[in-house]
Amino acid sequence: MISAEEALARLKAGNARFVSEIRGSDALTNQTRRRELAAGQAPFAIILGCSDSRVPAEIVFDQGLGDLFVIRVAGNIVAPSQIGSIEFAAARYGTRLVVVLGHSQCGAVLATVEELGRRSEEQSPNLRSIVDRIRPSVETLLGTELARDPQALVQHAVRANIRMSVNQLRHGSALLEQLTQDDRLLVVGAEYSLETGVVTFF
């Protein structure tokens, strides 16, 4: 399995190809590759991303079949099932890199900002469970000057939510925490720009 640093470099190079509209080799998705993967997989990165239809990880990182282990959920939140999925991939396949991939104008973050501005009793309990996981990262910003600028508030809240998810993965699982301490796993945050297609890692 490749190192976390090499995996990160591969994602950055793939995103640069995506932004430049230069696709990688079609060999990454052809029938030969599909048949090879029937025997097993060895994804080089785990992506916890938002379910937003405009941010498919394989496309924005220009990767093919078997390259990425992708978990998608609205707001790229961290819940037990997401942690378990990441634990599975890290332990089973030895994948060394986890990227929490958020994006600009995230609807789940916007819904959370709106919820904090006015309580919505009509919101379903299932949607509220997502909003409640994003809420702490947004609440910390409401006491700042950002509260006067809704657009800037959402922009900063998106990044705060990504950082919170990264922190939860680093410290919300004994297995992932141990792998991180042993330098066998790197967890990083990243933001995809809907406007430019660029992924910024931080």
Distances (CA, A) of 109 to 11, 120, 136, 161, 195: 25, 15, 11, 8, 17
pLDDT bin (cut points 50, 70, 90) of residue 26 is low
| CATH class for the region spanning 4-201 | alpha beta
Largest Cα–Cα distance in the chain? Answer: 55
Q: Which residues contact 141 (CB under 8 A, 6 or more apart)?
A: 147, 153, 156, 157, 160
pLDDT at 27: 53
Residues contributing to the annotated binding site: 50, 52, 103, 106
pLDDT at 147: 86
Per-residue pLDDT of 109-165, as tens digits, reads 998 988 876 666 666 788 888 989 999 999 989 889 998 998 999 999 999 999 999
Contact indicator for 160, 109 with CB cutoff of 8 Å: no
pLDDT at 34: 87
pLDDT at 194: 98
Return contacts of 12-21, CB within 8 angstroms, 24+ apart.
12/199, 12/201, 14/61, 14/62, 14/63, 15/60, 15/61, 15/62, 15/197, 15/198, 15/199, 17/62, 18/59, 18/60, 18/61, 18/62, 18/197, 19/196, 19/197, 19/198
Residues contributing to the annotated binding site for Zn(2+): 50, 52, 103, 106
Closest by CA to 111, choosing from 49, 54, 152, 158, is 158
Q: What is the pTM of this model?
A: 0.94
Amino acid 89 reads A
Domain residues of the chain, as ranges?
A: 4-201
Per-residue pLDDT of 54-81, as tens digits, reads 999 999 999 999 999 999 999 999 999 9
Q: β-pairing, 199-201 with 186-192?
A: antiparallel
Mean residue pLDDT of the chain comes to 92
pLDDT bin (cut points 50, 70, 90) of residue 32 is confident
Per-residue pLDDT of 85-110, as tens digits, reads 999 999 999 999 999 999 999 999 99
Q: β-pairing, 68-72 with 45-49?
A: parallel
E-assigned strand segments in the chain: 45-49, 68-72, 97-103, 186-192, 199-201
